[in-house]
Chains A and B, each alone.
Chain A
Amino acid sequence: MATRQLGAKKLRVLPGFKLTLGFTLFYLGLIVLIPLSAVFIKTSTLTWAQFSHTVFSPQALAAYRLSFGASFFAALVNAIFGLIVAWVLVRYNFLGKKLVDALVDLPFALPTAVAGITLATLYSPNGWIGGLLAPLGIKVAYTQLGVFVALTFIGLPFIVRTVQPVLEDFDPELEDAAASLGANRWQVFWRVIFPTLTPALLTGFALAFARALGEYGSVVFISSNIPMKTQIVPLLIMNELDGFQYAKATALAVVMLVISFLILLAVNVLQWWSNRYNTNNLA
């Protein structure tokens, strides 16, 4: 303990508490809190009619629908395949496993603009993948499907990276116990392993979903940004900004911020749940 109560006086062995905490709060306030509060203060100057006219306009509603829908399905696809990737990386050995493990983080490391132009080119009707799908009548680039593809790309690492450590820590004796009691392999997975993975899986899903909701760079090129059709909320905000409609952009930003904070809260609760799960397992 760095602080000890000696009578009424606190003695700290380590120096710098006031200095470091002071700087932390100052920097946090300057860079994050004050600028962020501007969004809420600016919005509070709008009347309710102005606010609701912007955030409930047909164009905004269509953008929410696409943003939430595409983000949800992208996170869902990632949950399924991410679980398989995490499972394969933890449980099996195969050639190039380390390479695959390192590559999983590519969507975090690759700038979104690069991902954007690459996916748009790949999935355009004369691109490598788009060219294969075009004869089947499937259009990806410049459609809602394209938005989904881009959001799947950027959400890919979240599930793998949240499930992987839990799977690594999983006590194999529980599997042995279940197997010796007569459970088949599928039952062992479904009834013993899967329930311990659920909190991590949900956390990863929520993180991938939240990231997809705010994503801009990788979507802007593959979506043709058609209002009511392929426009997600960040693109709509950008459009308003380009037209110097700061009040409208800010009102939409407040809606998205509130939603992000709610997801953040959900992630916190999930993490608390999964920690509780782990402690229960240890006990």
Chain B
Amino acid sequence: MSAAEKTNAPHRRTEPPFVRWLLIGIALAFIALFLVVPLVSVFTEALRQGFGVYFQTLHDPLTLSAIQLTLIAAGISVPLNCIFGVTAAWAIAKFDFRGKNILLTLIDLPFSISPVISGLIYVLVFGAQGWFGSWFSDHNLKIIFAVPGIVLATIFVTFPFVARELIPLMQAQGRTEEEAARVLGASGWQTFWRVTIPNIKWGLLYGVILCNARAMGEFGAVSVVSGHIQGQTNTIPLHVQILYESDNFAGAFAVASLLTFLALVTLVLKTWVEYKNTALRGTAFTPVPIGKKAV
């Protein structure tokens, strides 16, 4: 609201001060109870037995192998879903075809499926009694209770993240700029790299940030397909669980603090992208919050 507007409508548009302060107080109390207190307690619990134990846990070979596996899972799933996101957005935003709405709903589907079920479906396909289970075991390939299963489950749960940011953005931008580039003699690839990518870079970055956070933090789906073998099929969140259930609370929270740090970095980056884009205006992208349907 601009200053001029404010003077035009002196006190109709707001509430009496005590109502205002009451509402702000309730909101802040709710946020403090549900978000700030848990956040602070992660770090307090992690350091309860001092920095020595904290760093010892983080240097433990089992922790390091969990970190390595999480990086592998995210390192494969994020680029793949990124390629998928760009391709799907290109097909959906730049062309007209039937069944677009169904396709959009299907792309968002993994979001409405319980993580436990997301893991279960891969057990049904690749597990020992699954569709392709015997073929894979004949060829000495292990998918379930092994690294490939973890990667597949991670791809599934992070499937829509990039696509759902890019589709509405590219739809809003339309086709005219790419068409102009083509008419002026650019090849398809040139058009894509020099026109489309610069236009969608913020949306792409935003999607990648969210996709990566979920990929590194996924627990339920990965838990189903991992055999929980320490040092082999344990990701960071699964390692947190193992430490916690063996009553090593300081250790569990030390490892959890890594993930919390990742969450905070994600929020900072996300806010930064949003801030950059409100400053840019115009063709800049409007983030699609996770809680919202994309299109």
Contact = CB atoms under 8 A, between A and B. Distances in A.
Given A38-B124, A109-B267, A111-B219, A13 B179 contact: yes
Contacts of A101: 271
Interface string A222-235: 00000000000110
Interface string B23-45: 11011101101111111011001
B203 to A, nearest CB: 17
Given A117-B252, A129-B37, A23 B87 contact: yes
B40 to A, nearest CB: 9
A24 B252 contact: no
Given A31-B155, A157-B290, A117 B256 contact: yes
Q: Which of B23, B90, B120, B262 has the most CB of A within 10 A?
A: B120
A158 B30 contact: no
A154 B287 CA distance: 20
A32 B114 contact: no
B116 to A, nearest CB: 4
A12 B95 contact: yes
A122 B120 CA distance: 31
B199 to A, nearest CB: 14
Interface residues of A, number: 105
Given A20-B91, A92-B23, A38 B263 contact: no
A204 B12 CA distance: 28
Interface residues of B, number: 104
Contacts of A161: 289-292
Interface string B103-136: 1011101101111110011111101011100000
Interface string A133-155: 00000000000000000001100
B91 A81 contact: no
A14 B27 contact: no
14 contacts: A2-B96, A15-B188, A16-B188, A38-B131, A39-B117, A108-B210, A109-B263, A117-B240, A214-B117, A215-B115, A216-B115, A237-B117, A241-B123, A263-B112
Contacts, number: 307
A213 B291 contact: no
Contacts of A23: 84, 87
A22 B293 CA distance: 24
Interface of A: 1-3, 12-17, 19-21, 23-25, 27-28, 31-36, 38-39, 42, 81, 84-85, 87-89, 91-92, 94, 98, 100-119, 121-122, 128-129, 152-153, 156-162, 172, 175-176, 179-180, 185, 188, 203-204, 207-208, 210, 213-217, 221, 233-234, 237-238, 241, 246, 249-250, 253, 256-257, 260-261, 263-264, 267-268, 271
A31 B152 CA distance: 8
A153 B38 CA distance: 10
Contact of A162 (B34, B223, B291): B291
B120 A39 contact: yes
Contact of A257 (B45, B117, B122, B268): B117
Given A104-B31, A115-B38, A158-B291, A36 B116 contact: no
A102 B256 contact: no
A96 B115 CA distance: 34
B202 interface: no
Interface string B244-284: 10000100110010011011101110110000000000000
B109 A162 contact: no
A85 to B, nearest CB: 5
Contacts of B201: none
Contacts of A217: 115, 219-220, 223, 237
Contacts of B73: none
Interface string B172-201: 000100110011000010011000000000
10 pairs of A and B residues whose beta carbons are closest in the complex: A111-B217, A214-B114, A216-B220, A15-B188, A217-B219, A20-B91, A35-B121, A109-B263, A38-B124, A179-B12
B291 A157 contact: yes
A271 B292 CA distance: 10
A21 B84 CA distance: 10
Nearest to B240: A113
Given A12-B95, A237-B120, A250-B124, A88 B27 contact: yes
Contacts of B122: 35
Contacts of A19: 87
Contact of B120 (A34, A107, A241): A241
B91 A21 contact: yes
B57 interface: no
A23 B129 CA distance: 29
A37 to B, nearest CB: 9
B1 interface: yes
B120 A250 contact: yes
Given A105-B289, A117-B253, 12 more contacts: A2-B94, A15-B182, A102-B267, A103-B267, A111-B219, A112-B219, A128-B37, A161-B290, A162-B289, A208-B291, A256-B114, A256-B117
A214 B36 contact: no
